[in-house]
Chain A
Amino acid sequence: MNNFDIYLVGVGGQGILTIADMIMRAAEAEDIPANYFPTKGMAQRGGFVKAQLKLGRDTVGPDIRPGGADLVIAMELSESLKALRYLKAGGDFVVYGYQWQPTEVMLGKAAYPTVAQVREQAELSGARFHYLDPGQLPEGAADNIWLLAACLGKTPLGQFISAAAVQDAIVQRWPKGAERNMKSFKAGLEV
C-alpha cells in the first residue's frame, strides 16, 4: 500500500478537524508525504465540516475523487451519508453515531436517518461498515481522540501510520491534557 486517502466528515465543534490534524502530524513525523485539505465553509458550531487527507504521494491533487477514499471517518450519523460517495468499493466506513440534530428534526418536522438506514446504505455500497455507538465511549473520554484510536485499531490506517506516532502527536499538541487524551486513546485502540 503506497498511498492512503481519508475522507472525514462531521459538524463544526466536534473536533473532526483535530482528528485530521493529528494524522497529518503523525505523517510528518514518519516522513510520509501528505496533503490535508479542510473545508470549513461557513461552519460555526453545528455546520457541515469535511476534511480530505491524502497520504503517501509526492505529487497529489487536494480532492479525493468519488470512489477514491480508503477510509471514511464520520463523527455525525446523518453527515456520514455525504461521505459514502467518496469511499472505494470495499473501503472502511467508520461512523461514530453521535446525532447533532437540527431544530426541525428535534421538533419532528424533518426526518433524520436511523442507524439501520446508514448501515443499509453502507452495505449496499460495498463498504466495510464499523459503527461506534456514543454509549461505548468511556466516561470522561474525548470522543474524537477515542474515535481516531479506534480507526487505527480497526482499519488499515493502523498499517499505514503507526499508533505510536499518532499518540506522540497528541501528547505534543496538548501536553497539559495528556493524561485524559492518553486514556481516551488507549480505550479507543481496544474497541
Chain B
Amino acid sequence: MSKMNLSGNEAVARAAVDAGAKLITGYPGTPSSEVIGSIWDKAPEGVAVEWSVNEKVAFEQAGACAWAGQRALSTMKMSGLNVAYDSVISIAYSGCVGGLVLYVCDDPGVAAGMPEQDVRGFALMSDLPVLEPASVLESYTLTRYAFELSEAIGGPVMVRSVTNVAQSHALVELPPAEGFTPREPALIRDIMKYTKAGAKICMDQHQDLLGRLEQAETKISADRLYTLDLSEHAKVGVVSVGVANSFLTEARALLQEQGIDTDNLALLKLSATSPLPRAAVAELLTQCETVAVLEENEPYVEKALIVAAYQRKKQVRIIGKLEGPLSRIGSYNALTCAKGMAAALGAMFRTDLFSHDPAAAEALCCARPIGVCAGCPHRGVYIGLNQAVKKLGYKKDQVMITGDIGCTILGMSPPFHTLWTEVAMGASIAMAQGYVHAGVKTPVFATIGDSTFMHAGMPPLLNAVQNQTPVTVIIMDNGWTAMTGMQVNANTAPEYQQTPDKQRVDVVDIVKGLGVRQLFITDPYDLPKMTETIVEAARLPGVKVIVTRRECAIQAGRHKKERLHKVIDEEKCINCKLCITTTGCPSLVWDGVQMKIDPAQCNGCGVCVSICPKEAIGNE
C-alpha cells in the first residue's frame, strides 16, 4: 500500500472505518474536530457519522450501538468528556458487547483555551484502559487496536490524544483494512448489566469492571503494547508514555551533544497509562535504582511507579514532577525530556542554550488580542449591549453580562469589554440567575451562541422560566458552530445539513417550546434596533430572550452571499476615529492621516455606518 498524508485526527477516523465502526459521533472541539470533520460529508455506505447535539448524547448513542453488538466511536475534546462523563462511567461499569472507543483530545500547552486538564484521570476513575498514540501512525494503529481490546475485555476503551499528535500531519503507510464482516444488531435483555437498580447489580458491575481492567493488562502485556530495553543492567531507567516517546531519540542526542553518556539507560516506552504492563514495570524497577518518568500534565504513571516500587519494597528514586525537575504545566519537547533524563543520570545538563535572552525579543512583540472578524454579527450585539447599558442609566461596571463558550466569548476582548465570565457550555444562563439570587438589583444578562445553547443552554433557560428569575438571555444565532471550524448544528440552514432528509430545528422554536413568553428577534447588523431591543427587554420583568439572527460572516462570504463594501467619504469624515475605537473592526484602517476601510476585509455589515456621527460611511 502506498503512503498517504494524514493528520492524527484523520488517522483515527480512518481506523474506525477500517475497524468496521457502524457509528461515529461527536461534538466539535479543538483539537479533536477533524476526526468527524474529515468524514462527515463522505461517510462510507452503512456508517452513520454525526455531529451530535452534545458529547453526552454522542457517547450514549455510541454506547447503545455497542450494546447492540456493533462497533462505535465517539470523539470529543477534554471539556466534552466532562459533559459526557455521567454516561461514560455508567457504561464503563456496564461494559459492552461490540467495540466501543472513546477518543478524547487533551491540550497540554493550551493551543485553544479551556482548562489544561488531563483526561487520563477520568479513565483511572472509571477503570477504563487508556491508550495514548505517540504519532500519526499510532493514532491509526492504536485506534484499531482499541476496538479489538474493547471486544476482548467487553468494555469501552479510551484513546487519549494531545493537540500536537492529533493535529500533526505525516506521511504514513497504513496496514491493510481488516475484512470486517458487517453484523446484524442484537437486542440483549440483561438488567444485571444494563441497569443500575439495586446494590447487588451495582457492586457486581464494579467487580466485573475490575476484572475487565485485569484482562486488559493481560492482553496489553501479551500483545507487547510497550517496548522494554533493559540495556545490560543499566541502573538508570526512563519510562515514557504517549507523545513523550516520540522525543526520546532527539533528547538523547541533546544529552550526547553535552557529553552526557546515554548508552547505559533502560527504556520502557508505554502506549497506555492504564493498565500498566505489570511484569515489564517489575523488571525495570528490579534492575534500576533511579527512574525518570516522562509524561505530560499529571503524574499518573509516576505515582503508579512509586506505588509499584513500594509494593516491591524496592528503594527506587522516581524523577518526575513530584520531586522535580519536570512540570505539570505545558507541553513537552526534546529539551524537557532531556532535562528529565539528565536528572535521572545525575548529570549536569545546560538548558540555558541562548547567548541572548529570547524573552527580551518577545517583550518587543506587539499584543494581538483575539477579536471578532470583519462583519461578524456578534459585534453588533456587544456594541448594542454597551449602548443599552448606558441608555438604561448604568455604568459598565454595574451591569453583569455573563458569557459562554465559542466565538461569542470574544466580547470579553477590547474594544468591547462587554462580557464578565466564561465557565462551561451553557453556564452563562445559570450563572446569570445566580447573580440575580445574590441580590444584584441591576439588570442581569446572559449571552450564548446557538450551538452552545442547544448543547447545554436549554436546561438553565427552562430553570429560569419555571422560577421566573428575571434575566435577559441573548442567543447569538449565527447559524453555525463557528469557533471550532464551522460545523453544522441542528439550527443550521437546511441547505447545509448533512443530507436532504435531516430536519433543521429553529432555535426560536426551541425557545418558545421552553415556555419563554417574552421573545424578541433582531438583526445585529441593525445596531439602533439592536440597542433599542435590549433596552426594552431589560425593562420587562421575568425571563426575556433576544435571538439575534445573522449568518456568520465567514460562512456567508464562502457561500458568496456578499454584501456591498462600505467606504468612507473623506470629505465628510472628521477622523474622530469613533468607528475604529467602538467596533475594533479589522477592516478599519488608520494610516496616520485618514481613516479608511480596507475593501479586501470589509464584509459590509454596516455597523460602523450607524456609529459615525457625521454620516461619512456608506455603500461603495
Contact = CB atoms under 8 A, between A and B. Distances in A.
B171 interface: yes
A103 interface: yes
A64 B371 CA distance: 28
A111 B366 CA distance: 6
A124 B170 contact: no
A126 B355 contact: yes
Contacts of B589: 106
B367 interface: yes
B231 interface: no
A103 B361 contact: no
A36 interface: yes
Interface stretch (B71-79, B160-168, B609-617): B160-168
B164 A82 contact: no
B370 interface: yes
Nearest to B136: A35
Interface stretch (A43-51, A141-149, A160-168): A43-51
Contacts, number: 162
Contacts of A85: 354, 358, 361-362
Interface in B153-199: 163-165, 167-171
B601 interface: yes
B584 A61 contact: no
A65 B168 contact: no
Contact of B366 (A36, A60, A89, A113): A113
Contacts of B368: 11, 46-48, 78-79, 102
Contacts of A67: 335, 353-354
Interface stretch (B204-212, B242-250, B473-481): B242-250
Given A34-B171, A47-B368, A61-B334, A107 B361 contact: no
A24 interface: yes
Nearest to A110: B366
Contacts of B334: 61, 63, 65, 68
A56 B588 CA distance: 44
Nearest to A117: B364
Contacts of A134: none
B554 interface: yes
Nearest to A44: B373
B414 interface: yes
A118 B170 CA distance: 33
A61 B171 contact: no
Nearest to A39: B111
B558 interface: no
Contacts of A126: 355-356
B586 interface: yes
B97 to A, nearest CB: 36
A42 interface: yes
Nearest to A85: B358
B78 to A, nearest CB: 16
B338 to A, nearest CB: 8
Contacts of A59: 135, 246, 249
B113 interface: yes
A70 to B, nearest CB: 13
Given A28-B5, A59-B249, A60-B246, A104 B367 contact: yes
Interface in B588-615: 588-590, 601
B540 interface: no
Interface string B339-365: 000000000000001111010111011
With a 10 A CB-CB cut-off, give which of B135, B169, B336 has the most chain A CB atoms. B169
Contacts of A19: none
B168 A124 contact: no
A118 B581 CA distance: 28
A85 B359 CA distance: 8
B445 interface: no
Contacts of B307: none
Interface in A17-75: 24-25, 27-28, 33-39, 41-48, 57, 59-68
Nearest to A41: B111
Interface string B209-243: 00000000000000000000000000000000001
A121 interface: yes
A98 interface: no
B580 A35 contact: no
B178 to A, nearest CB: 25
B331 interface: yes
A45 B601 contact: yes
A124 B359 CA distance: 12
B33 to A, nearest CB: 11
B168 A35 contact: yes
Contacts of B254: 65
Nearest to B5: A28
Nearest to A86: B358
B493 to A, nearest CB: 21
B513 interface: no
A14 interface: no
B253 to A, nearest CB: 10
A104 B414 contact: yes
21 contacts: A27-B171, A28-B3, A28-B5, A35-B136, A37-B164, A44-B373, A47-B368, A48-B368, A61-B332, A63-B333, A65-B333, A67-B353, A78-B365, A81-B361, A82-B362, A101-B366, A102-B367, A107-B590, A110-B366, A125-B354, A125-B358
Given A46-B586, A63-B247, 12 more contacts: A24-B169, A25-B5, A39-B163, A44-B554, A57-B250, A61-B333, A62-B168, A81-B361, A103-B580, A103-B581, A112-B366, A124-B356
Top 9 nearest A-B pairs (CB, nearest first) are A85-B358, A61-B247, A62-B164, A121-B361, A124-B356, A67-B353, A61-B246, A65-B335, A65-B333
Interface of B: 3, 5, 111-113, 135-136, 163-165, 167-171, 243, 246-247, 249-250, 254, 331-336, 353-356, 358, 360-362, 364-371, 373-374, 414-415, 483, 554, 577, 580-581, 584, 586, 588-590, 601
